[in-house]
Structure 1
Amino acid sequence: MDDSPRAPDADAPEPNPTGTLPEVVNIVEDGDIILDVIFENSKDTIRSARATQSRLASRELQPAPKRKARLAFRVNLKVLKSQSKYFEKLLTDGRFKEAKDITGAFAALSLKNVKPEAADVKDLPWIEIRDDDQATHYAHREGAFADLMRILHEKEVTTKQAALSFVTTLAVLADRFDCTVPVSKYVINTLKPKWPATNRNLIRDEVPVMSRNNEDVLRQKILVSWLLSHPTRFQAVTKEIIMNGSCKWGSFAEDDEASDATWWYLQDGLEQELQYRRQCILNTIASVQRHFLTLYTSRARQCKLGYDSSAACDSYQLGEMFKFLANKNLMFLVDFSPGSLDSIADTSLLQIDSLLSTLRQCPSYQIDKNHTNCGLRTRILPILDFIHSLLSANFIPINRNAWKNHRSVAAWMPSDAENKKEKPFRFTRSIAGDQRLRFENGLGTEGLAKHVFTATSWDWTAEDQAQDGLSSTTPRWSLR
């Protein structure tokens, strides 16, 4: 899809071709220019559209998709200039051929003493536009384009069922022609499309993960809410993809040419930021189990039974901890053989809520009846409660207005200068006991959430180590 006006010397067909003229759709009866639009579809898009029509038995609702469709639209030049910066530049800047054609055609009509709004279609200036399916993979864009023109002319759209694929195409076209403001108002206030749910499906080993089709829908919702300025919905769907993951974000993900629709790589830095935020959260949660594995493999005694504290208890707890994490696929055995990497599961679709729930299942192991509270469960549950409370903060998803206007402040991704800074986090009892963490979106939790999830290191037992005579280099953090 070509997103910019053509240069004056662009090699293009004549805007008003000779021979049979295409069907003309009168957006307004007294329009003074003709947009001659050629819609091109790839074989994959046509095949997908036919399959969808066959599955939904909706052949009567839409015509069969074509490899190439050509339609002309009679529109008002003044309206286009006022509603679209793209058309304002293309149709009025004398450096472009389209603007010169309009000036010449109007001059010819003036010599005949004919007003453009009353002129015959063939005598009006014809402006050619080419549109391909690369960005949308939608085979019936002529209907979306016609409704786009109707919205700009304050007319009612003719599409009866505003499916998400149609709304997405409408949003992409509005973005291309730089007229998202009027389209956004119409979609939100008048069209009010239904947003399909993107619930996780049980498709692998009874683990809830996001299917590819559901992710396709979710990504379209993100794109539409971004382009058409729907901040509340944008915040909800960006959190959804952060918590559920994406098949495009895996370490072992393969390039898929079928996923080249514009929502499969979100624009304006959104793709990188969303992936980075998810990675930060996963790194933070993974640091908890790494922290305790490091403690129980160190020489520092973890058993707290006083005079009867036992190295055997520590070894027992380490073994049980390792067995639990391995059985729950939260840790994988890898050695120096290249083939051992195959044992690592792709965690790109690992659901964060399920991950926390799995960690909570850690049993309270005891080497004997005297050794209570020596294991992982007692020590990890307050940490998991703390992380869970941070995940409810409004700072986890992307705030649309902040990302649009203050991106450097809103971003989690560090700048080159920030990337070199050490940002340790120290978990203390004062933080764990703060009452504000009991409430969703508690005051002060947003700043803490960013600090914790973007830290470079985590000390989850800082006070315990200090009591044992081990110093901690991580600074204190207070919500107050």
Structure 2
Amino acid sequence: MDSEYPPLPSAAPKAAGASKVLLSRDATPTSSQSPASEEPSLIPNGSQGVSATSSGSRLIYKVISDNGDVIIEYTDEDEHSCRLPSVRYQWQVSSDDLMNNSPYFAALLDPNKFFEGRTFMERKAELNRQSELQVRNGDSEPPRDAPRNDLPTVKLNNVDRLPRKHKTDVIGLFLKILSFDSLSDSEKDHFDGELQRQSPSLIAGLIEIADLFNSPHIVRVTLKRSGYAFGRGKVPLTKFNSALLKLSEERVRQIIFIAIFLDEHNIFQILTHTLIVLGSKSWANEVGVPDPGSPSWWYLPNGIEEELYYRRQCVLNTITDLQAHFLRIYGALEDPSDPKSSVPNPTSMTQNAAPGRTRPFQCRWGFSNSRACDAFHLGEMTRFFAMRTKTIFLGSTLIDPGFSVDPGDDSNLNNIDPAAESSSQRAAAQQQGPPADITAIIASLKQCPDYQIDSNHTGCGIRRRLLPALDCIERFVGDGRGLLGPVLRFWKSPPPTSASSWMNRSLRRAETIDIRYSKIISVNCTPSDSLFPGPLPPGSTEEDARLFFTAKKRNWET
């Protein structure tokens, strides 16, 4: 997909020299003379220099600033293969640009703060004296295509969080943004035009490195000035549609990450809605602990990650509640509105044997075989939910989930074994369960067949009753405005619980919601004088979605 995007802005080749000062982020600087055996023999390659050393490593040298007086170096070593030679990337930039636009480099190269800064300033003064001497003597300037070994070097070591695929491109783009003031007017216009169409994967990495080097302001200003368009994708990001569900999870997360950084409220809401509908591989067993070595978009900040997971679970819980409703009215589940019967004892078994209330038949016709009609549809419904859509699981409650008759032996998984039902089969059900996409789950439930026990029992099944209720859920899930997505202005800072969070128990909540066919006909909320009504206006579609999916009880067929 990234091949659709234009190449990074290229830099023109520049100059050469002989000794260097290494300024590392983790080590004190050392001054060393490169041995003759390591002097690279230059191989011109367009706008950059590519050289090879006797040790087998390659050097790729790029000039960003004509007046560059410092080299930024990154060594790319393939950690999966020790046979491949390492590649050193060097960018020649201006220290003034780095210090003016990056607080990190301003501190690192400050002679009054760090030893690296004092060493750099001493080396810079020495180079200035040598340059003045060359001018007075009429010496020719070094070739513009050769690496400048005489310039001090700053090594970048702590960039492990950046994706390996775009790491060097991200570093080069970041340095060019810091060096923007050194470009000519035509170069600036060309750079902004190319930056506007770069892929989200590259820009997300750019924001990541800006955070690593404490330089978010200049990157944000540059992206806003260029009018960054989130790549050249054909899928519009300002309205939710099925095409967004075809994007990979990482691409969706990268766009959300960029939208947070650039305060793109509409795109943030649409893409978070998309992630809620799609689901995440990171949410297999609740929201895990963030991996410090992973890019930041794999664990969204300020409580957003937890909020998206919670909202998805609320939608899935609503779908589960709808299935439970039909299982309950057909007699497979207890009705929570019935009085709870106490645990029977031997002396009262006879008195407690008869139920206190007879369950009404669901058969439409009231024939003598109505009980058989209900039993038939209960069986068909259970088989459909458990085997076709895989949205419910049938297992044993008698044994511990981790118990196995023959530990380590999976040969009997196809047998009807209690242990398999509760542990191994449950794991298999998770792997071969329903699709993660909520719209696909709803679509699969809409395939419910309309069987009948005989020709006299037309329409006694659940299909004609299930589909309108699914339409009610789908109206919120498929809305083009992204009703499930959070509103960005409430999530820019990290409070313990955002004012608009669905987890916020101080907000007004729905005690019961009455649904008739595919419409919500009434919402009975907690007293508004005792709870905060919420930042969203009452009656807004986003607020209706929150009340519907977080309701304590839903009357599906009022």
**TM-score of the two chains, using structure 2 as the length reference:** 0.60
Q: Is the 8 A contact 1:168 1:223 kept in 2?
A: yes
- Output aligned runs, 1:67-78, within 5 Å: 67-77=86-96
Structure 1 residues 89 and 231: alpha-carbon distance in aligned structure 2, compared to 1, 3 A threshold: farther
Query: What is the alpha-carbon distance in structure 2 between the residues aligned to residue 236 and residue 45 of structure 1?
Result: 41
Query: Aligned match of 1:146 in 166, 172, 175?
Result: 172
Three-state SS of the structure 2 residue aligned to 1:28 is coil
Query: What is the alpha-carbon distance in structure 2 between the residues aligned to residue 262 and residue 452 of structure 1?
Result: 32
Superimposed CA distance per residue, residues 444-477 of structure 1 (whole angstroms, 9 cap, x where no aligned partner): 221121122234x4323474xxxxxxxxxxxxxx
- Output aligned runs, 1:40-51, within 5 Å: 40-44=76-80
Structure 1 residues 307 and 68: alpha-carbon distance in aligned structure 2, compared to 1, 3 A threshold: closer
1:324 matches 2:407:
no
Query: What is the alpha-carbon distance in structure 2 between the residues aligned to residue 245 and residue 45 of structure 1?
Result: 34
Q: Name the structure 2 match of 1:84.
A: 102
Query: What is the alpha-carbon distance in structure 2 between the residues aligned to residue 74 and residue 12 of structure 1?
Result: 21
- Which of 1 and 2 has greater Rg? 2
Query: What is the alpha-carbon distance in structure 2 between the residues aligned to residue 302 and residue 46 of structure 1?
Result: 72
Query: What is the alpha-carbon distance in structure 2 between the residues aligned to residue 45 and residue 136 of structure 1?
Result: 17
* Amino acid aligned to 1:217: R
Superimposed CA distance per residue, residues 252-300 of structure 1 (whole angstroms, 9 cap, x where no aligned partner): 9999x9x945544444444333323222211111111012212221543
Q: Is the 8 A contact 1:39 1:141 kept in 2?
A: no
1:339 matches 2:420:
yes
More helix by share: 1
Superimposed CA distance per residue, residues 112-135 of structure 1 (whole angstroms, 9 cap, x where no aligned partner): 9979xxx99777665443244443
Which stretch of structure 1 is more off in the superposition, 167-176 or 12-21?
12-21
Structure 1 residues 405 and 133: alpha-carbon distance in aligned structure 2, compared to 1, 3 A threshold: closer
Three-state SS of the structure 2 residue aligned to 1:332 is coil
Query: Aligned match of 2:464 in 354, 378, 382?
Result: 378
1:460 matches 2:487:
no
1:38 matches 2:69:
no
Q: Is the 8 A contact 1:273 1:411 kept in 2?
A: no
Superimposed CA distance per residue, residues 226-264 of structure 1 (whole angstroms, 9 cap, x where no aligned partner): 445444433333222221222332249999x9x945544
Query: What is the alpha-carbon distance in structure 1 between the residues aligned to residue 502 and residue 472 of structure 2?
Result: 23
Q: CA deviation at 1:303?
A: 2.5
Q: Name the structure 1 match of 2:374.
A: 314
Structure 1 unaligned segments of length 5 or more: list them.
1-7, 48-64, 199-207, 436-440, 464-480
Q: CA deviation at 1:162?
A: 3.9
Q: Is the 8 A contact 1:174 1:180 kept in 2?
A: yes
* Amino acid aligned to 2:362: C
* Amino acid aligned to 1:427: D
Query: What is the alpha-carbon distance in structure 1 between the residues aligned to residue 556 and residue 229 of structure 2?
Result: 50
Query: What is the alpha-carbon distance in structure 1 between the residues aligned to residue 210 and residue 324 of structure 2?
Result: 48
Superimposed CA distance per residue, residues 333-353 of structure 1 (whole angstroms, 9 cap, x where no aligned partner): 212423114252335852211
Structure 1 residues 266 and 254: alpha-carbon distance in aligned structure 2, compared to 1, 3 A threshold: closer
Query: What is the alpha-carbon distance in structure 2 between the residues aligned to residue 128 and residue 277 of structure 1?
Result: 44
- Output aligned runs, 1:159-238, within 5 Å: 162-184=198-220, 186-187=222-223, 189=226, 192=229, 194=231, 214-238=248-272
* Amino acid aligned to 1:166: L
Q: Name the structure 2 match of 1:57.
A: none
Q: Name the structure 2 match of 1:474.
A: none
Q: CA deviation at 1:355?
A: 1.2
* Amino acid aligned to 2:442: L
Q: Is the 8 A contact 2:307 2:501 kept in 1?
A: yes
1:301 matches 2:396:
no
Identity across aligned pairs (percent)? 26
Structure 2 unaligned segments of length 5 or more: list them.
1-22, 41-58, 134-140, 143-147, 236-242, 335-357, 400-417, 523-536
Query: What is the alpha-carbon distance in structure 1 between the residues aligned to residue 438 and residue 315 of structure 2?
Result: 8
CA RMSD of aligned residues (A): 4.8
Q: Name the structure 2 match of 1:292.
A: 326
* Amino acid aligned to 1:386: C
1:18 matches 2:33:
yes
Query: What is the alpha-carbon distance in structure 1 between the residues aligned to residue 471 and residue 493 of structure 2?
Result: 33
Structure 1 residues 99 and 248: alpha-carbon distance in aligned structure 2, compared to 1, 3 A threshold: same
Q: Name the structure 2 match of 1:355.
A: 441
Structure 1 residues 303 and 431: alpha-carbon distance in aligned structure 2, compared to 1, 3 A threshold: closer
Three-state SS of the structure 2 residue aligned to 1:320 is helix
1:403 matches 2:491:
yes
Q: Is the 8 A contact 2:253 2:298 kept in 1?
A: yes
